[in-house]
Chains A and B, each alone.
Chain A
Amino acid sequence: MLSTIVRRLLQTLLVVLVMSGLVFAGLYLIGDPVLMLASPEATDAQREEIRRALGLDLPLGRQYLIFLGKAAQLDFGNSFLTGESAMRLILERMPATLELATLAMLLSVLIGVPLGIYAGLRPRGAGARSIMAGSVLGFSLPNFWVGLMLIMLFAVMLGWLPAGGRGPVESFGPLKLSAFNWEGLKSLILPASTIAVAKCALIIRVTRAATRECLPQDYIKFARAKGLREKRVLGVHLLKNIMIPIVTIGGLEYGQVFAFAVVTETVFSWPGMGKLLIDSIITLDRPVVVAYLMLTVAFLAMLNLLVDIAYTVLDPRVRLEAA
């Protein structure tokens, strides 16, 4: 197990390295940051000055090597646009995205799994059919549209919840979270629900499929034959066995939401990392984009590893070495 974890960490490092090179080259191809930053009235001499100051006058290869050298010492450079440390800018905004993604996934699992099991148990019932129809709608509706509709309904028409922004935060060690006070939670509900609509739909479908697969199995029949109460059959024997696909999908989706909650964050002006990424791509703020993607790739890889470890816990037959 330990050797597997070490091997996976090394793989992650390699992926992060390759990706940073790709992003470096990609942003270079898109355009010239100096054109985006400098005042259009600037003279060529002033532009050259900026280029030199930001280290953009060197050949791309050199720039990349310098970047790698500094990254090895955990210095990911300063944002072109703000002059602040790129990693600090990202970490400052990470808690906001973290709590948004966590609440959204929590909502989707807590709602999605029971509905999915219900739909799997009575697939031909009217209840199951409407749940499935709803789930199709859930992941077909575009994210920003759902967000705007929720804003129109709950913020503009009913006035119950704020239309955007983040509420007051409290410090929990290094994390500043807003989910633990009423004002903050109120601002969190709409964006989290927006994300949860699509994710919940996915969880419902996965759970239903897994339930239908498990139900005809011998151990379920045996449990029923033994005369166990339905509650125990479903809550222990079924739930344990459908957990593997749910954990897989849930884990991957959590990573997705965490890294790319851009659309929802924009609609709700949620001060998270996703918005920072988009703004930085538009201004070609390379240090921030590279640092961001390196961080998210590392995060996604870690999440995958955790999901794999969770398998071994859920299913004793699975050995990590085999993965």
Chain B
Amino acid sequence: MKLIRKTMLFSVLAAGLIAAAGPAQARDLIIALRSEPSSMDPQFHSLTPNTQLSETLFDPLVRTDGTAKPVPSLAESWTVDGDVWTFKLRPNVKFSDGTPFTSEDVLFTYDRVPKVPNSPSSYSLYLSTVDKVEAPDAHTVKITTKGPSPVLLANLSMVPIMSKKAASGPAPEGKTTVELNRGDGLVGTGPYKFVSWKRGAEIVFDRNEHYWGDKPDWDKVIYRPISNSAARVAALLAGDVDVIEDPSTDDLPKLKKDKNLHVQETPSFRVIYIALNQGKEPPAGMTAPDGKNPLTDRRVREALSLAIDRQAIVDRIMDGAGMPAANLLAYPAFGASEKYAKVPKADADKAKKLLAEAGYPDGFAMSLGSPDGRYTNDKRIAQVVASMWARIGVKTAVETMAPPVFFKQRNAYAFSSYLAGWAVSSGEMLNPLNSLVVTKDPAQGLGTTNWSKYSNPEMDKLVMQASKTLDDGQRAALLQKAADMAMDDYSILPLQFELSVWAMKKDIRYGGRADQMTLAQYMTLAK
């Protein structure tokens, strides 16, 4: 009896507390982020933790939807004629400070991009194909590109439009990064506006009452950086936060079973792959009986690919938070052909036969480098792949190291093969082919992350042609052909596509995004 009375007292107290906390309709959203942004300046550091917040404060001219298709944002419509793109701006759009948005703001924004000093990853990347930007009138912007540029829309979607009035200042770039970090000049047209940022603790946004689009569900959004995944899960279980990014895959089964929670898994554009060093000289860590580099032989590469049981990796290591990959982008993404939609079944016997055909019946020894802690379960995946290769007679020494060390070693060709990941920011095949498979030519920005020494001039030509083709149908066909060529060659071994995972309280829904961004404006309260 005493106990019951006590419980009753507690619930009365609790009800009182809840009532005191304010009217129930005004709910705030608390999101636990995996990494804190490095800056609030939307043009300082092009990195997902930064971009996802600027996407919430600002709008670009053109936005990409969850599948990377360009959709109107501040530009209502656009036309293209050769190298000239004309954008009609949305009328009656206001910044969060109430001032109207015009083409002047677009000019200011694009002009500021190259002027931001010390930018660790500059936004100039996204304007590299732009020759000049003009504003014939207050609601029209004309962009001239250097030659045909089919990637322009995807690129522009990465550059949020700032307010000329708010972000002008004495420095060459207007308001400096440090000033913007404090919220000074941080004025956008997006669904939320900046309130405060306490480094390491929390970032607070309020709803932008002047927003031109649909009103989002939350009055206030609070982001808390919680870098440790166990701590994120604990915060969600304790009810301290409403949504968490990226719970560790070990926790997934438990979270999915929890009736108070909802787990969203969405296929991402991030492919985890293995690159094989195909240089003429045997690479570091390689000992083959004939003193050559066996990886130059297509049959050996096919054998290595066949030896990998991708489904087992997804099931046992990723706890289902992945999709086996047969291409750099999953079919039916732009430029991914049906030919490589499905992953061939792992076949160790056939792999051994191929090795014997290539002259290595007893296999050979090589190294597999992997970062430890850069991609989900990276080290464990590398270890499993090594054991699968050992089964066909390829003795594989796994070398894992902290990400900074790994990337330095990789760029010094210190491994015979390495595991890494690539997030296809544009969502189409041109981007991974250009970066990972095309012959390395750093001056042209081609093959910038191709550390495999693979070179196929015929494929290079196709990719080059696609990058200059504006017609979507033709470009898709060219890219499919090029990607098929790269896959036929086993030039690179895709392992799996990561699923992006969010866990949230059961009355919240988030569709998830292939670009792995956490966007508060698309989170809804289930009614």
Verify if B27 is at the interface (C-beta below 8 Å from A).
no
Given contacts A36-B404, A163-B231, A268-B231, is CB(A78)–CB(B118) below 8 Å? yes
Specify which of A43, A49, A152, A283 is in contact with B442 (CB 8 Å cutoff): A43
Verify if B523 is at the interface (C-beta below 8 Å from A).
no
How many angstroms from the CA of A53 to the CA of B444 in the assembled complex? 21
Given contacts A163-B235, A269-B224, is CB(A40)–CB(B449) below 8 Å? yes
Flag the segment in A9-17, A79-87, A239-247 that touches B. A79-87
Question: Which residues of chain A come closer than 8 Å to B122, judged between CB atoms?
Answer: 42, 46, 49-50
Q: Are B200 and A272 in contact (CB under 8 A)?
A: yes
Q: Are A36 and B238 in contact (CB under 8 A)?
A: no
Q: Are A269 and B443 in contact (CB under 8 A)?
A: no
Closest B residue by C-beta to A32? B408
Q: Are A155 and B405 in contact (CB under 8 A)?
A: no
Verify if A89 is at the interface (C-beta below 8 Å from B).
yes
Q: Are A269 and B407 in contact (CB under 8 A)?
A: no
B403 to A: closest C-beta gap in Å: 7
Q: Are A155 and B39 in contact (CB under 8 A)?
A: no
Q: Are A164 and B181 in contact (CB under 8 A)?
A: no
Question: Which residues of chain A come closer than 8 Å to B38, judged between CB atoms?
Answer: 81-82
Verify if B226 is at the interface (C-beta below 8 Å from A).
yes
Specify which of B118, B201, B238, B444 is in contact with A43 (CB 8 Å cutoff): B444
Closest A residue by C-beta to B37? A82
Q: Are A50 and B231 in contact (CB under 8 A)?
A: no
Verify if B445 is at the interface (C-beta below 8 Å from A).
yes
B306 to A: closest C-beta gap in Å: 29
Closest B residue by C-beta to A150? B234
- A residues 7-52 near B (Cβ < 8 Å) are 30-32, 34-46, 49-50
Specify which of B121, B199, B403 is in contact with A282 (CB 8 Å cutoff): B403
Closest A residue by C-beta to B236? A163
Q: Are A84 and B228 in contact (CB under 8 A)?
A: no
Q: Are A53 and B117 in contact (CB under 8 A)?
A: yes
Verify if B240 is at the interface (C-beta below 8 Å from A).
yes
Given contacts A30-B404, A155-B240, A266-B227, is CB(A44)–CB(B234) below 8 Å? no
B392 to A: closest C-beta gap in Å: 31
Verify if B13 is at the interface (C-beta below 8 Å from A).
no
Question: Which residues of chain A come closer than 8 Å to B408, judged between CB atoms?
Answer: 30-32, 35
Verify if B109 is at the interface (C-beta below 8 Å from A).
no
Verify if A165 is at the interface (C-beta below 8 Å from B).
yes
How many angstroms from the CA of A273 to the CA of B118 in the assembled complex? 24
Given contacts A31-B404, A38-B121, is CB(A83)–CB(B178) below 8 Å? yes
How many angstroms from the CA of A306 to the CA of B240 in the assembled complex? 40
Verify if B129 is at the interface (C-beta below 8 Å from A).
no
Closest A residue by C-beta to B36? A279
How many angstroms from the CA of A283 to the CA of B47 in the assembled complex? 13
Given contacts A30-B405, A31-B408, A159-B239, is CB(A45)–CB(B226) below 8 Å? no
- A residues 132-172 near B (Cβ < 8 Å) are 148, 151-152, 155-156, 159, 162-166
How many angstroms from the CA of A46 to the CA of B113 in the assembled complex? 13
Q: Are A81 and B234 in contact (CB under 8 A)?
A: no
Q: Are A282 and B45 in contact (CB under 8 A)?
A: no
How many angstroms from the CA of A80 to the CA of B120 in the assembled complex? 7
A40 to B: closest C-beta gap in Å: 5
Q: Are A50 and B125 in contact (CB under 8 A)?
A: no
Q: Are B231 and A155 in contact (CB under 8 A)?
A: no
How many angstroms from the CA of A131 to the CA of B435 in the assembled complex? 62
Given contacts A148-B234, A163-B234, A271-B200, is CB(A282)–CB(B402) below 8 Å? yes
Q: Are A93 and B199 in contact (CB under 8 A)?
A: yes
How many angstroms from the CA of A151 to the CA of B230 in the assembled complex? 10
Verify if A183 is at the interface (C-beta below 8 Å from B).
no
B190 to A: closest C-beta gap in Å: 22
Verify if A54 is at the interface (C-beta below 8 Å from B).
yes
Given contacts A35-B408, A43-B442, A156-B237, is CB(A267)–CB(B230) below 8 Å? yes
- B residues 358-415 near A (Cβ < 8 Å) are 402-405, 407-408, 411
How many angstroms from the CA of A42 to the CA of B238 in the assembled complex? 42
Closest A residue by C-beta to B177? A83
Verify if A276 is at the interface (C-beta below 8 Å from B).
yes
Question: Which residues of chain A come closer than 8 Å to B117, judged between CB atoms?
Answer: 53, 83
How many angstroms from the CA of A78 to the CA of B403 in the assembled complex? 23
B523 to A: closest C-beta gap in Å: 20
Q: Are A36 and B234 in contact (CB under 8 A)?
A: no
Proximity bits, B410-445, A CB within 8 Å = 1, else 0? 010000000000100100000100010000001111
Q: Are B445 and A50 in contact (CB under 8 A)?
A: no
Q: Are A165 and B202 in contact (CB under 8 A)?
A: yes
B408 to A: closest C-beta gap in Å: 4
Verify if B5 is at the interface (C-beta below 8 Å from A).
no
Verify if B448 is at the interface (C-beta below 8 Å from A).
yes
Proximity bits, B153-178, A CB within 8 Å = 1, else 0? 00000000000000000000000011
Question: Which residues of chain A come closer than 8 Å to B41, judged between CB atoms?
Answer: 83
Q: Are A163 and B407 in contact (CB under 8 A)?
A: no
How many angstroms from the CA of A39 to the CA of B422 in the assembled complex? 11
Closest A residue by C-beta to B402? A282
Q: Are B238 and A151 in contact (CB under 8 A)?
A: yes
Proximity bits, B133-152, A CB within 8 Å = 1, else 0? 00000000000000000000
How many angstroms from the CA of A271 to the CA of B231 in the assembled complex? 13
Verify if A205 is at the interface (C-beta below 8 Å from B).
no
Q: Are B238 and A155 in contact (CB under 8 A)?
A: yes
Question: Which residues of chain B come closer than 8 Å to A49, judged between CB atoms?
Answer: 122
Q: Are A36 and B403 in contact (CB under 8 A)?
A: yes
Q: Are B411 and A39 in contact (CB under 8 A)?
A: no
Q: Are B181 and A84 in contact (CB under 8 A)?
A: yes
Proximity bits, A92-109, B CB within 8 Å = 1, else 0? 110010000000000000
| 18 further A-B pairs in the complex, CB-CB below 8 A; given A155-B235, A164-B226, A266-B228 | A30-B408, A35-B407, A41-B435, A42-B125, A44-B448, A83-B39, A83-B177, A89-B199, A92-B199, A93-B200, A151-B231, A151-B234, A155-B237, A162-B238, A162-B240, A165-B224, A269-B224, A282-B403
Interchain Cβ contacts under 8 Å between A and B, 22 examples: A35-B407, A37-B121, A38-B121, A41-B125, A41-B448, A44-B448, A54-B120, A81-B45, A83-B41, A84-B177, A148-B230, A155-B235, A155-B237, A159-B238, A159-B239, A162-B240, A163-B238, A165-B224, A266-B228, A267-B231, A269-B225, A282-B403
- The residues of B with any CB-CB pair to A shorter than 8 Å are 36, 38-39, 41, 44-47, 117-122, 124-125, 177-178, 181, 198-202, 224-228, 230-231, 234-235, 237-240, 402-405, 407-408, 411, 422, 425, 431, 435, 442-445, 448-449
- The residues of A with any CB-CB pair to B shorter than 8 Å are 30-32, 34-46, 49-50, 53-54, 78, 80-84, 89, 92-93, 96, 148, 151-152, 155-156, 159, 162-166, 266-269, 271-272, 275-276, 279, 282-284
User: Across chains A and B, which 3 residue pairs bring their CB atoms closest together, nearest first?
Assistant: A271-B200, A37-B120, A43-B445
